[in-house]
Amino acid sequence: MHSPNTEPLREAKTINKLLLRFRTTYFISVKAIARFILLLMVTIHSSFAFCQSITPVACESLNKDIITIPNDTKGKFTLICVASSTKAQQELEGWLDPLYQKFIAKSGLMDDAFDVNLYFIPVITGTKIFADKVKARFNENTQLDIRPHILFVTGDNKEALNSLSIPQDNQPHFILFDATGKIVYRTNGAFTDEKLDAIDDLISG
C-alpha cells in the first residue's frame, strides 16, 4: 500500500512520462511529414523541370545532314552534349571516350542493346569568320564514325541556348530526350560514373 504523500508524486512522474512520449511521437511525426512534403515538392519540381518540351533547334552535321532536335530524333532516346566555350569543350573531352565506347563503338558487354541518338553540339557565339574556322577544324580532325554525331546550330546560337535552357558558361551541358522528344534528364560539368549511370538507367528503363 502506497503512502498518501508518495501517490501524487508517482502520478506526476507517470504524467511526465506520457507527456514526454507524446512530445517524442509528435516531433517524429512532424519530421516525417515534413520529409514527405519536401520529397513531394522535389518530385513535382523534377517532373516539371525534366518532362518538358523545347522549341525545336535546327542543326547541321559534318556530313551536311539537317537534323532538328527533337523533331527528327523521336522514336528513340537522344542525348545531346552542348559546349558553348573553349573551357566547356575541354571539360567535355572527359565525356567523349565513355560516350563513344557505349553509344557509338558499343564496346561493352551489353552496349549493343543501346539504340541511342548521340550528338555533340559545339555552340559558337563569335563572329562568322571565327565560326567557320572552328567548323573547318572539326571537319579536318574528326574521324569518320563520329562525323554524323557532330552538329552545328544552323540558326542563331544564343537563341538555341535559350531554347535548350542552357546558359553560356564554362561547363558542358547534357540533355536526355525520351522517344517522344520530352526532356527526362539534365546534367552538366565534368564526367562522373554516377552521371553516366543515371543516363544508362533511364535508357535501359
- 74 and 107 both lie in a single domain: yes
- 27 and 72 both lie in a single domain: no
- 182 and 90 both lie in a single domain: yes
- Distance, in Å, from the CA atom of 199 to the CA atom of 205, rounded to the nearest integer, reads 10
- 46 and 105 both lie in a single domain: no
Residue among 121, 141, 143, 124 nearest 132 (CA): 124
pLDDT score, position 134: 87
- 118 and 174 both lie in a single domain: yes
CB of 180 closer than 8 Å to CB of 174: no
CB of 58 closer than 8 Å to CB of 154: yes
Question: Which pLDDT band, with edges at 50, 70 and 90, does 59 fall under?
Answer: very high
- 24 and 97 both lie in a single domain: no
- 39 and 70 both lie in a single domain: no
pLDDT score, position 127: 78
pLDDT score, position 20: 57
- 44 and 105 both lie in a single domain: no
CB of 200 closer than 8 Å to CB of 79: no
CB of 57 closer than 8 Å to CB of 164: yes
- 124 and 174 both lie in a single domain: yes
**Helix (H) or strand (E) run with residue 21 in it:** helix 7-50
pLDDT tens profile 162-199: 999 999 999 999 999 999 999 999 999 999 999 999 99
Q: Which domain holds residue 96?
A: 57-204
Q: How many domains does the chain have?
A: 2
